Structure 1
Amino acid sequence: MAAAAAAARESWQAASPRRRRSAARRPKRRGAAAAAGTPGAEPEVEGGAVLRRIQEAKEDLVISDFWSSALETVSSCLQKHLEQLRAPEGPLSEALGHLHLDAPPVEADAAPGPVPEETLVPGTCCFKCVCYGVGNFASCAIARSQLAFLLLLLERCQTCVHPVHVGPQEGKRSVCGEPTVFYMPHCGTALYNNLLWRNWSVDALSKVVIIGNSFRGLEERLLTRILHKHYPYVAKILTGLEEVVFPQTPRYMDVFNDTSVHWFPVQKLTQLPTDTWAFQEEPDYQDCEDLEIIRKTTEEPRELT
């Protein structure tokens, strides 16, 4: 096994200069050109190397000041979000009361990996996690760090977690009555708008947590008429949510800039004008410029177990 690993490393090191020399003699492949134009992009690599780089990204992230602060931010928001879902009495209330995120001891940070079975809390509530927007982590360092954050977050969840769902659904996924965390770093505004539309009710939104682009930032950057015309659900929900921004450090500025945790308190949702919920028109974006969204295909969503 050690000999094979050494041979693989030697092969990768020997192949790199040949690619650099030949790049000037022939046109770049479409994928390579896209990677070259993406911050943090790297050449495509084989599967084993990708896994090693993801692990390295996790190890770098878990010992950073950013990770501990960001974990605290997510944990605090998720706790508050779940408190509102507690039933007055009964098994569901007890189960939700056990769900929490917690940072591992300092010594565990030096060796990131799966959470030992004895640290899992028995009888915890299951919640879903849906991931949109993480790019090509084989060739992009930024995407790899975003994926590493999600993997670490799930490892630190002392709860029962359904498989992570990914797929080209244009964000139109219903929570189906289950508490769901949507991990959507640097997604297009239409994706957030679609997600809100699909869950446009007090009951559904009260079960949604979104880790993604700051909604307040969207409000500041977009013209008011554009926001209300093309992204009406984002515009209407701005006064019905709680938003906590991610910490910012130089090391992960490009990875998590403008990222926040959003959740929707029932009290705020019920205080919105009653006609807010009457508007149910599905977004179409027919005349929307600079639309950042991948249209849905017939492919079914995949699960990462």
Structure 2
Amino acid sequence: MSDPGEEWQVARRRKGAARKSKSLQVPSTCSQEQLDIGKSVKRIRDTVSELRCEEFWQDWKKAASSALSNPPENKDTEGTADQLGSTKDGRLCQQCVCYGLGSFSSCVSARFQLAMLLLLLDAGQVPLKDCSVYDPAFSSGEMAVLRELGLTVLTENEEGKCLATKSTLFYLMHCGKALYNNLLWKNWSVQHLPLMRIIGNSFNGLMDRTVDREFKRDYSYITQAVSVCEERQLPCPSRLIDVFSDTAVITFPTSNLKRLPQSTWAEPPEPQYQHCSDLEIIQRETQS
């Protein structure tokens, strides 16, 4: 079996990456394969405590809690009653999927993003075991740390093609455009898109930083989603610009989706990216 890390790599292009904050710089001296799990877990929990005291966290908590607690607007859609109903404990967001987190043992930005994920799960009352994480950058030590925290570590490269069969938070911090596009393609229907809540890069921001003609050609699902999704921009303090810049809560109200012609949803073609010169994920090799 091949190493999933060789199959897929996520390139995180952070806005303002050249202006690294001194407060977030640490020497990368630890060996990922020889992590002290206990110390690593404590460091992450200390970062959680640090973020919880930040003023901007209250704005994130309010926005995320609203997105995670409001039921999708497709109660009139056939076959989705089970997905739309709340859990026995009243939760409406039933699971979380996190892609592209990065090497949090050596990258401070990734550690802060992991800490924020833990805060959001707590705010949304999503059990840690119901959050699945994947990144080829994870070392075996980091995967052990994630499991110790209570998260579920995926081992297969899904290329972002994950179908939301129930209300799901997708946490995609500074991931490549192709991953967002793949995720949208997999859920491209009036039934599944409303089940998704994305916390990640603003779709409008992605479009603004790319040549319009190329963006529409290579990332057609993001292009179409921009006109019907709702984005709520999340605040970011200047000292954490490399960590949380250009982040939004993105939802897909059914009432917006129904404005698109019915042909929009008919047999959507799988993205191929044959003309994309700067693809930000490495695709799986197809078995011959």
TM (normalized to structure 1)?
Answer: 0.69
Matches within 5 A, 1:284-303: 284-296=272-284
Over the residues paired in the alignment, what is the CA RMSD in angstroms? Answer: 2.7
Listed one character per residue, the Cα deviations across residues 186-209 of structure 1 (whole Å, up to 9, x for unaligned) are 000000000000111011101111
Tell me if the contact between 2:188 and 2:268 (Cα under 8 Å) persists in the aligned partners.
yes
SS in 2 for 1:171: coil
Tell me if the contact between 1:69 and 1:247 (Cα under 8 Å) persists in the aligned partners.
yes
Listed one character per residue, the Cα deviations across residues 167-226 of structure 1 (whole Å, up to 9, x for unaligned) are 3211011113x1111000000000000000011101110111111110010121111211
User: Which residue number corresponds to residue 217 of structure 1?
Assistant: 205
Q: Which amino acid aligns with 2:29?
A: P
Q: Does 1:197 align with 2:171?
A: no
Residue 161 of structure 1 deviates from its aligned partner by 6.5
Residues in 2 aligned to 1:143 and 1:154: alpha-carbon distance in whole angstroms:
17
SS in 2 for 1:285: coil
Tell me if the contact between 1:228 and 1:235 (Cα under 8 Å) persists in the aligned partners.
yes
User: Which residue number corresponds to residue 172 of structure 1?
Assistant: 161
Tell me if the contact between 2:181 and 2:222 (Cα under 8 Å) persists in the aligned partners.
yes
Q: Which amino acid aligns with 2:257?
A: L
Q: Which amino acid aligns with 1:145?
A: F
User: Which residue number corresponds to residue 4 of structure 1?
Assistant: none
Residues in 1 aligned to 2:75 and 2:114: alpha-carbon distance in whole angstroms:
30
Which structure is higher in helix share? 1
Which of the numbers 113, 124, 134 marks the counterpart of 1:157?
124
Residue 159 of structure 1 deviates from its aligned partner by 5.3
Which of the numbers 233, 237, 243 marks the counterpart of 2:221?
233
Q: Does 1:53 align with 2:51?
A: no
Listed one character per residue, the Cα deviations across residues 15-49 of structure 1 (whole Å, up to 9, x for unaligned) are xxxxxxxxxxxxxxxxxxxxxx9964632252233
Tell me if the contact between 2:72 and 2:194 (Cα under 8 Å) persists in the aligned partners.
no
Which region of structure 1 is more displaced relative to structure 2, 275-284 or 213-222?
275-284
Matches within 5 A, 1:10-29: none
Listed one character per residue, the Cα deviations across residues 215-273 of structure 1 (whole Å, up to 9, x for unaligned) are 01012111121111100101111111000011121232211101111010000001012
> Which structure's relative contact order is higher, taking Cα pairs within 8 Å and 6+ residues apart?
2
Would the alpha carbon gap of residues 184 and 94 (structure 1) be closer, same or farther in structure 2, given more than 3 Å must change?
A: closer
Residues in 2 aligned to 1:297 and 1:153: alpha-carbon distance in whole angstroms:
34
Q: Does 1:145 align with 2:112?
A: yes
SS in 2 for 1:183: strand
Unaligned runs of 5+ in 1: 1-36, 100-120, 299-305
SS in 1 for 2:192: helix
Residues in 2 aligned to 1:122 and 1:152: alpha-carbon distance in whole angstroms:
19
Aligned identity (percent) is 40
Listed one character per residue, the Cα deviations across residues 62-86 of structure 1 (whole Å, up to 9, x for unaligned) are 1001211111111222334x15255
Residues in 1 aligned to 2:97 and 2:43: alpha-carbon distance in whole angstroms:
23
Report the number of matched residues.
Answer: 235
SS in 2 for 1:68: helix
Q: Does 1:74 align with 2:41?
A: no
TM (normalized to structure 2)?
Answer: 0.73
Unaligned runs of 5+ in 2: 1-16, 135-156
Residue 293 of structure 1 deviates from its aligned partner by 1.1
Tell me if the contact between 2:185 and 2:268 (Cα under 8 Å) persists in the aligned partners.
yes
Tell me if the contact between 1:126 and 1:160 (Cα under 8 Å) persists in the aligned partners.
no
Listed one character per residue, the Cα deviations across residues 116-141 of structure 1 (whole Å, up to 9, x for unaligned) are xxxxx835446120000100000000
Please tell me whether Structure 1 or Structure 2 has the larger radius of gyration of its CA atoms.
1
Tell me if the contact between 2:172 and 2:201 (Cα under 8 Å) persists in the aligned partners.
yes
SS in 1 for 2:197: strand
